[in-house]
Amino acid sequence: MAEQRGLILKSSGFRAEREAAWKRLEELIDRFEKRRSLSDDDIIALPVLYRAALSSLSVARAISLDQNLIGYLESLSTRAYFCVYGTRARIGERIAGFFRHGWRDAVREFWVETLVSAGLVLLGVVVAFIMTRSGADWFYAFIPHELAEGRDPSAATADLRKVLFSTHDTSGLAFFSSFLFSHNTQIALLAFALGFACCLPTALLMIYNGMTLGALLALYAERGLGLDFVGWVMIHGFTELFAVTLAGAAGFKLGWTLAFPGAQSRLDALASAGRKTAVVMAGVIVMLAVAGLLEGFARQLITSTAIRLTIAFATAAFWLSYFYLGRNPRRGER
């Protein structure tokens, strides 16, 4: 009887020391089995808690604790094993998870960098617009002759209007769309990669992108075609500019982390930031593909400014509501 009482006391003390970790592991397993998303911290903690449960099970067997406790730990360890080493999600589930919460959560986390990136683009637009309206020669400071392709202060108003409203043969639009997607992707990747140089080149690229848009807007506004130009460019432009802005935000995140890693080592901090920026950049490619389709097809086939502006406002409402409206499910689970 005394031996049994001693065994019970030993089991109680053993459980009291480790039960919090077991309960935490059990909670994570329950959420995993119910297909509820785990936060990044939860995913990191899961294998650690699993190994701790295995260690507890080994000790419990070695010192012959009561069978109820051993049975509980065996069951817990088995369930945790399938969570850690079991079959991973199918590709369809991963893609669905990316669009349902992964991409949106990553973009929301970079909201400060996104505001900075968007602010620099807007600054470029305003500066170039004001300077071009003050003197036509400033136009060429922002857009060289070879890139203007006839859309410059020397062009006749009729020619500028023709650019906005001319229709195109549909047979070549697929190639044109793919070309635009490739070109815009190169800009976005450049904005992201330049972030490693402590953010400055990315900031300059964001400003320059805005300046090209501001110079063209000033040119068309001076000829009384400002609203038509906005419809022509923004039918795809919000999606494209937002994508490039997010790429710039990802670049800023990497550059800032490189310069100021915080409590972590610089390598660990960059690895953590890199995983998050990779999610953002994967989504940026999706947005640029959509922008390429809108620019390659919709802008070329639709010549009504009203319809172009309607599509522009619709795409703006869609992207802003997708990223920033509604509850963040992963944040709510922490």
Largest interatomic CA distance in the chain: 106
Both ends of the chain: CA-CA distance in Å? 46
Q: How far is it, in rounded angstroms, from Cα 41 to Cα 27?
A: 14
DSSP code of 304?
-
pLDDT, residue 104, reads: 94
pLDDT of 261 over the 60 cut: yes
Predicted confidence at residue 80, as pLDDT, reads 85
pLDDT (0 to 100) of residue 203: 95
Mean pLDDT value of segment 158-170: 81
- Split at pLDDT 50, 70, 90, the class of 228 is very high
Q: How far apart are CA 269 and CA 255, in angstroms?
A: 11
> What is the mean predicted confidence (pLDDT) over 160-180?
70
- Which residues touch 166 (CB under 8 Å, ≥6 apart)? none
Q: Torsions phi, psi of 325, nearest 5?
A: -100, 150
CB atoms under 10 Å from CB of 263, counted, come to 6
Q: What pLDDT is recorded for position 310? A: 97
Residue 182 clears pLDDT 90, i.e. is over it: no
What mean pLDDT comes out for the span 296-309?
92
Mean pLDDT of the chain: 85
* 13/286 Cα distance (integer angstroms): 55
Proportion of the chain above pLDDT 90, given as a percent: 44
Question: pLDDT tens digit string along 199-220?
Answer: 999 999 999 999 999 999 999 9
Residue indicated by tokens 């919709």: 298
**Per-residue pLDDT at 307:** 96
Radius of gyration of the chain (CA): 28
Task: Say what the pLDDT of residue 282 is.
Answer: 94
- Residue 305 is predicted with a pLDDT of 95
pLDDT digits (tens, 9 = 90+) for 96-134: 889 998 999 999 999 999 999 999 999 999 999 999 999
pLDDT number for residue 128: 96
- pLDDT for residue 6 is more than 60: no
What are 19-77's pLDDT values in tens digits? 888 899 999 888 887 777 777 788 888 888 888 888 888 888 877 667 788 888 888 88
pLDDT(243) > 80: yes
**Polymer length in residues for the chain:** 334
pLDDT at 329 over 50: no
Percent of the chain with pLDDT over 70: 87
Would the pLDDT of 191 be above 80? yes
* Residue spans per domain, the chain: 2-87, 94-332
- Give me the pLDDT at residue 184, please: 79
How much is the pLDDT for 1?
47
Whether the CB-CB separation of 221 and 125 falls below 8 Å is answered with: no
**Are 153 and 139 spatial neighbours (Cβ–Cβ below 8 Å)?**
yes
Residue with tokens 């009729």: 158
Q: Which tokens is 96 given?
A: 């669905």
Predicted pLDDT of residue 334: 38
pLDDT at position 146 is: 75
Task: Indicate if the pLDDT at residue 227 is higher than 50.
Answer: yes
Per-residue pLDDT band for 179 (boundaries 50, 70, 90) equals low
| Burial of 31 from C-beta contacts in 10 A (0-12 / 13-18 / 19+) | middle
59-73, 78-92, 286-300, 320-334: lowest mean pLDDT where? 320-334
Candidates 240, 218, 236, 248; CA nearest to 118 is 248
Alpha helix ranges (H) inside 135-199? 139-142, 145-148, 157-165, 173-193
Specify the higher pLDDT residue, 6 or 151: 151
Give the span between the Cα atoms of 251 and 257, in whole angstroms: 10
